[in-house]
Structure 1
Amino acid sequence: MFMGYSLGELGSIFAMQAFAGLILFSVFVLMSLGLAIIFGQMGVINMAHGEFMILGAYMTYLTSQLFQAYAPGLYGIYFFVAMAVAFVVSGGLGMLVEWGLIRFLYKRPLDTLLATWGLSLIMQQAFRSIFGAREVGVELPEWMMGSLAVTDTIEVQINGLFVMGLTTLIAVAVYLLMFRSRWGLQVRAVVLNRTMAGAVGISTERVDRMTFGIGCGIAGVAGSAFTMIGSTGPTAGQLYIVDTFLVVVFGGAASLAGTIASAFTISQAQSTMEFFMSGSMAKVLTLLVVVGILMLRPEGLFVLKVRR
């Protein structure tokens, strides 16, 4: 696989592919953070999580179209507005879904799997009916175009650095929300003992709804980042849902550090192997390695130690 390349060329290739995987890593982290909150904290298997990401991508597309049509001079800041719109719309729909569907299925994970899978099909058809079956793309503002030369042979994409910084900020915000805020304390109390949490005055229904909404909202922000690496279509979310579940399980459910470490490992492995072989073979090898590690460590890379 490495035949025909010198050591210097291999070093440049690995560095370039590592930087190229930054946006993929960012999408994985944002998707996985939302799913880790929903799956790790609530035990809900949300098969429609990819569709919430695509909803955020479509909101980004609509926002870019509105800026191009009515405020072309402000197009350089459209992405910041689009992220806020994607978070609010995806999070709001997530809260509505929790109220109308998910709250009746707690402690029934297989039922949540089937229900959210049906929801994903409904959302796909809704996207197809509203936006059409053809894929749509977003034009990046000028300041996101181009790359920075690190060396004579290595360049870094500016949009990759931007999304990486955005992902870092969101990961820090999620950490502060979950482990340094009163609401995060309530979430962890509900996870550990729902009955006792309700007995001391915590509104468990409100915590569940907000948790599901925030998880879906973060998926919407992931959709905004997704518009930088690919076009948006009704079924594009299904391409990432398996990888996202893989990241969450491999890193350890409910572990923020495990989610980030797992997303980085899987995204960089896929990005590098895709240079030397086909994309499908890269995914197969990545899956085999992850499955092998999970057979030796089924709880994932990081485990939360809880006193029983």
Structure 2
Amino acid sequence: MIDQLPVGLSIAGALLLIALGLTFTFGQMGVINMAHGEFIMAGAYTAYLLQDLADDKAVFLALPVAFGVAGAMGLILERLAIRRFYGRPLDTLLLTWGVSLVLQQLARDLFGAPNVNVTAPGLLEGRLALGGMTIPYTRLFIMVLAVACVAAIWLYMNRSRQGRRMRAVMQNRELAACSGVVTERVDQLTFFIGSGLAGVAGVALTLIGPIGPSLGTNYIVDAFLVVVAGGLGRLRGAVLAALALGLLNSFVEFWTDASSAKVVVFVAIVAFLQVRPQGMFVLRSRALT
């Protein structure tokens, strides 16, 4: 039971890394991007390709490279297609679902259908004994990476000029445009950052197990649940929801099996949304009554 705690925290860290990108694209822009899972896959395969250059250091080298690769893919998708469907979430769902199928088939053509492994760095071999439990260094690295990404996003959103512009567009797009904010550029940057974070999550997932063309589909639904349960566009809500879902999934799976754990998690989310349909945290705004 004690050893399930770091397992749950590492699952929470992976979910949080995935959900951070969705917090931008779905929570702030209202775009249901089903291709987000394929950006995760792109980040994972980036680490796989870099093994020939960096051997067991590929994971460290792949973090910034995967951010750029997945971010560029997201930017291209936003420029070529999604920009024409803003304000139409169901249309973006169908569009990006089709794109995700195309990207999965492209990955099968390039890398093959079987799963492949990425060698973990030598620095992450072994376990840390702490308080009666053992934590693999790979899972500890995922936790630290998730905390670092949350801190970086918080600083960006609250301390940078571009981050404040992004928040302004999220809260009131029309008023932000009237104030001189170029909302189109903000949308491009938002989609780039959100997609890039998916690439970083993909690199982290290579430390958990093998990767394949359908890697993203195994996590995308849970990541959407994290965003919805935490509150659309709310960073602290995503953090708390990821922790809750990761720990719940870990402990329930310990007592039952993976399928039963998924069912329990879904039931818990449905029950929670019955009580708080807008999630843990809601963006406060003034409205005419």
**TM-score, normalising length: structure 1:** 0.90
Which structure 2 residues correspond to residues 203-214 of structure 1 after superposition, within 5 A?
203-214=182-193
RMSD: 1.2
| Residue 287 of structure 1: aligned partner | 266
Q: Hey, what's the Cα distance between the residues in 1 that align with 2:239 and 2:160?
A: 21
Structure 1 residue 161, shift from structure 2 partner: 1.4
> What is the one-letter code of the residue matched to 1:209?
Q
Match of 2:210 in 1: 231
| Counterpart residue number, 1:4 | none
Q: Tell me the CA shift for residue 63 of structure 1.
A: 1.1
**Count of residue pairs the alignment pairs up:** 287
Aligned to 2:49, which of 47, 62, 70?
A: 62
Question: 2: CA distance between counterparts of 1:19 and 1:28?
Answer: 14
Match of 1:33 in 2: 20
CA contact (8 A) 1:26 1:225 kept: no
The yes-or-no answer on 1:23 pairing with 2:10 is yes
- Equivalents in 2 of 1:239, 1:281: separation in Å? 15
After alignment, is 169-178 or 153-162 more displaced? 153-162
- The letter of the residue matching 1:35 is L
> Which one of 149, 165, 172 corresponds to residue 193 of structure 1?
172
**Cα distance in structure 1, aligned partners of 2:130 and 2:177:** 55
Q: CA offsets, 1:142-199, max 9 Å, x none?
A: 2101101225x52111111122111111101111111221111111222233233223
The 3-state SS of whatever aligns with 1:134 is coil
**SS at 1:202's partner residue?**
coil
Q: Which runs of 4+ in 1 moved over 3 A?
A: none
State the identity %. Answer: 46
State the 1:284 CA deviation. Answer: 0.3
Which amino acid in 1 is paired with 2:40? M
* Counterpart secondary structure, 1:148: strand
Unaligned runs of 5+ in 1: 1-12, 69-74
In terms of mean alpha carbon deviation, does 54-63 or 190-199 score higher? 190-199
SS at match of 2:135: strand
Q: Does 1:274 align with 2:253?
A: yes
- Does the CA-based 8 Å contact 1:20-1:157 persist in structure 2? no
Q: Report how far residue 230 of structure 1 moved.
A: 1.6
SS at match of 1:155: strand
Q: Distance in 1 between matches of 2:210 and 2:228?
A: 27
2:201 is matched with 222
**SS of aligned partner of 1:20:** helix
Aligned equivalents of 1:280 and 1:236: distance in 2? 17
- Match for 1:186: what amino acid? R
1:211-246 per-residue CA deviation (whole Å, 9 max, x = no partner) reads 011000000000000001121111121111110111
Q: Secondary structure at the match of 1:43?
A: coil
- State the alpha-carbon separation in 1 of the partners of residues 9 and 46 from structure 2: 23
Offset of residue 259 of structure 1: 0.2
Kindly provide the amino acid, as one letter, of the partner of residue 66 in structure 2: A
Give the superposition deviation at 1:296: 1.0
Q: State the TM-score, normalizing by the size of structure 2.
A: 0.96
Q: Deviations over 1:72-113 (max 9, x none)?
A: xxx4x4322110110000001111111001100001111000
Alignment partner, residue 43 of structure 1: 30
1:91 aligns with 2:78: no
Q: Give yes or no for the alignment of 1:180 onto 2:159.
A: yes
1:120 correspondence with 2:95: no
Unaligned runs of 5+ in 2: none
Match of 1:81 among 61, 75, 78: 61
Contact 2:44–2:211 at 8 Å: present in 1 too?
yes
